[in-house]
Amino acid sequence: MPGEARAAATPGAPAAGYRVLARKYRPSNFDDLIGHGPMVQTLSNAFATGRIAQAWMLTGVRGVGKTTTARILARALNYEVEGGASGPSVAMPELGIHCRAIMEGRHVDVIEIDAASHTGVSDIREITDAARYKPVSARYKVYIVDEVHMLSTAAFNALLKTLEEPPEHVKFVFATTEIRKVPITVLSRCQRFDLRRVDAGLMVKHLSGIAAAENVVVDDEALALIARAAEGSVRDSLTILDQAIAHGGGRVDGAEVRAMLGLADRGRVIDLFEMVMKGDIAGALGELADQYDTGADPAVVLSDLAAFTHLVTRTKLVPASADDPSLTETERERGRSFAGTLPVRVLARAWQMLLKGIAEVQTAPRPLPAAEMVLVRIAYAADLPTPDEALKALADMRGGAAPGRGPAAPGGSSGGGASAASTGATTARAPQLRSLPTPAGAPAGATARLAPDPAAAPRPAEAPVLAAFDDVIALAAARRDIGLKVALERHVRLVRYEDGRIEINPGPGAGPNLAGELGRKLTEWTGRRWIVAVSREDGAATVQERRETQKRSLEDEARADPLVSAILASFPGAKIVDVRSVLDEPLPGLGAPGDGPLPPDYGADGFDPDAYDLDAMFRDLDDD
């Protein structure tokens, strides 16, 4: 414990072996424990009221005092002073009969077991068999099982019965760093205490007391560096302090600790941070190279930069964070200065880039160039706006309106600005539509389709008129959305059609989002809202089915014609491939329909079969 006097050397006696600080200043009672007040309070109340549990589970990271706490707990359970009151006690002002043997790990009734090397059922069987016998000299027989998570599943099962109903003279204390690996059946039979990491400020105070007891001069910066490097582990901090005392020859300062641990100078890290935030890339690269030449690890430098970025962010949001005793005066003052000037968005972006950069440097074949590239990215991004700021600046450049939106004009119509220009450009690119004659045999509800009219002049303000469902298909074709056009023709049965509302019954081949896609695109193309609903009614035939029906009807009519019938009979295997109107194709030597007056012998349909000698034609074919 702190303040422990060294044993005086006896002349002629062999020199005692050196005890490292982590063992020399190991706490021996609850008053010496640091950072575990809630656990001490719970045990104190339990001992005072006689509500002493049968088993305790101590968990935490390495070096926070799990095994030490277990020994102190065993000592408190068996605390006994000659001629004094007998009974478990948290207050142990002097050494009792069993205290020294327990703290040195050699008491016969306090059995310490390393579960890492005793993992089997046979080892647990020894505990359960010996637990039946009363302690030799102490009040309780205490079993301390270190790293209990290393026990096998069978060993845990073998321990359950004894752990649940142990003899009155048996207590169990378990310690583990992997609490998730302990079965819940074991945890439910124990009182659990989570030993937390020791706060850096409390660690600095503890190390300062030990340094004073060792008559070693350690400056505040060195203590802060040691406490920060220990990451909340008391044992690690004492080990680093022991090494620093040996490294410095009895005097420890911040420079010696940085050199020993391979850390960068905190002041130089802050200078590097300032250069990066200013965008001084040349200076930042030079500073990183200098730190690398003095032995600093590039990954450690970036880690220190990330830690200082976090410090500045916390100081900006919680100003009291700068009063942490583990911080040096330079970190405290310059951290406050940066917090007053740097926005949170810059700090947050630098933090994210440093996190990714540290991983890159750790895995890069050449860490220094990788670290330099990280600094280059941060420096170039330091003064860049965030996406929302860029959008706001773009809107200001366009006259104060958000991008893509124009100011509202009277009457609810869009006025000038980006939106109006965009809408006008889109409408101007839309092809103009013209109506075609309604095909023969089409359903009564069908109207003439819409097709592009290349001769029509573009009229941006005029939206297409969709009087029927066929107009919708024609609009999809005009917009060159072939996928939607084919889906509407082949897989959609029309149930109802109204202006602004369509009810359809999609077929098996239709996509799951066809209705939503159609409504969205119609709204976009026409500039007004369209609702497309899915109905369970059968609906009308699809456009493809109507076309096939019409084609079959025309083929039947053509097949019934005497001339076509005679041709089919004269040529075995011949079949009708397609039926076309003569109005759609020009006749040989006559030009296109409508190009001029027809001969007087033409019929009403533009073709006079009497004008040809069919018998002569067939005789010529037979001769051939």
Supply the pLDDT for residue 607.
Answer: 47
How would you class 223 by CB atoms within 10 Å of its CB: exposed for 0-12, middle for 13-18, buried for 19 or more? buried
pLDDT exceeds cutoff 50 at 592: no
CA distance 204 to 228: 9
pLDDT in tens, 83-106: 766 778 888 888 888 888 888 888
What residue spans define the domains of the chain?
21-194, 200-261, 266-381, 432-540, 580-624
Per-residue pLDDT, averaged over 258-266, amounts to 72
Select the more confidently predicted residue: 133 or 538. 133
Res. 170 pLDDT band, cuts 50 70 90: very high
The helix (run of H) or strand (run of E) holding residue 46 is helix 37-49
Cβ neighbours around 287 below 10 Å, total: 22
CA distance 168 to 109: 14
Supply the pLDDT for residue 437.
Answer: 44
State what percent of residues in the chain have pLDDT above 90.
19
Supply the pLDDT for residue 306.
Answer: 92
Supply the pLDDT for residue 425.
Answer: 36
Select the more confidently predicted residue: 263 or 200. 200
Q: What is the dihedral of CA 573, 578, 583, 585, to 10 degrees?
A: -80
The 3-class secondary structure across 169-183, one letter per residue, is CEEEEEEECCHHHCC
Supply the pLDDT for residue 558.
Answer: 82
Supply the pLDDT for residue 355.
Answer: 92
Supply the pLDDT for residue 264.
Answer: 61
The helix (run of H) or strand (run of E) holding residue 504 is strand 501-506
Supply the pLDDT for residue 391.
Answer: 74
Res. 477 pLDDT band, cuts 50 70 90: confident
pLDDT exceeds cutoff 50 at 599: no
Sign of CA dihedral 167, 171, 176, 178: positive
Q: Are 175 and 70 in contact (CB under 8 A)?
A: yes
CA-based Rg of the chain, rounded to a whole angstrom?
Answer: 46
Res. 623 pLDDT band, cuts 50 70 90: low
Supply the pLDDT for residue 360.
Answer: 92
Supply the pLDDT for residue 262.
Answer: 65
Superfamily of domain 21-194: P-loop containing nucleotide triphosphate hydrolases (3.40.50.300)
Res. 515 pLDDT band, cuts 50 70 90: confident
Select the more confidently predicted residue: 265 or 475. 475
Q: Are 69 and 36 in contact (CB under 8 A)?
A: yes
Report the DSSP beta bridge partners of residue 506.
Answer: 492
pLDDT mean across residues, the chain: 78
Report the DSSP beta bridge partners of residue 492.
Answer: 506
Supply the pLDDT for residue 172.
Answer: 94
Supply the pLDDT for residue 157.
Answer: 92
CA distance 110 to 137: 10
pLDDT in tens, 271-329: 899 999 888 889 999 999 988 887 788 998 899 899 999 999 999 999 888 887 777 77
Architecture of domain 200-261 in this structure: Orthogonal Bundle (1.10)
pLDDT exceeds cutoff 60 at 382: yes
What lies within 8 Å, CB to CB, of 530 at 6+ separation is: 500, 501, 502, 518, 519, 522, 523
Supply the pLDDT for residue 454.
Answer: 44
The 3-class secondary structure across 127-195, one letter per residue, is HHHHCCCCCCCCCCEEEEEECHHHCCHHHHHHHHHHHHCCCCCEEEEEEECCHHHCCHHHHCCCEEEEC
pTM > 0.75: yes or no: no
Q: Are 386 and 299 in contact (CB under 8 A)?
A: no
pLDDT in tens, 178-210: 999 999 999 999 999 988 888 888 888 889 899
Cβ neighbours around 352 below 10 Å, total: 13
Supply the pLDDT for residue 399.
Answer: 58
| 3-state SS class at 121 | helix
The helix (run of H) or strand (run of E) holding residue 209 is helix 200-213
- Domain 266-381 indexed as CATH 1.20.272.10: yes
CA distance 103 to 74: 9
pLDDT exceeds cutoff 80 at 439: no
pLDDT in tens, 393-424: 777 776 544 444 443 333 333 333 333 333 33
Per-residue pLDDT, averaged over 481-493, amounts to 85
DSSP state of 450: E
What lies within 8 Å, CB to CB, of 522 at 6+ separation is: 466, 472, 475, 530, 532
CA distance 55 to 183: 15
Residue for token pair 């007056």:
597
Supply the pLDDT for residue 358.
Answer: 93
Axis crossing angle, helix 562-570 with helix 614-623, rounded to the nearest 10 = 10
Res. 582 pLDDT band, cuts 50 70 90: low
pLDDT in tens, 119-139: 889 989 999 999 999 999 888
pLDDT exceeds cutoff 70 at 441: no
Axis crossing angle, helix 482-491 with helix 514-526, rounded to the nearest 10 = 130
Per-residue pLDDT, averaged over 145-151, amounts to 92
Supply the pLDDT for residue 150.
Answer: 92
Report the DSSP beta bridge partners of residue 498.
Answer: 501
Closest CA to 521 of 559, 484, 471, 572: 484
Supply the pLDDT for residue 294.
Answer: 77
Residue for token pair 């002002």:
93
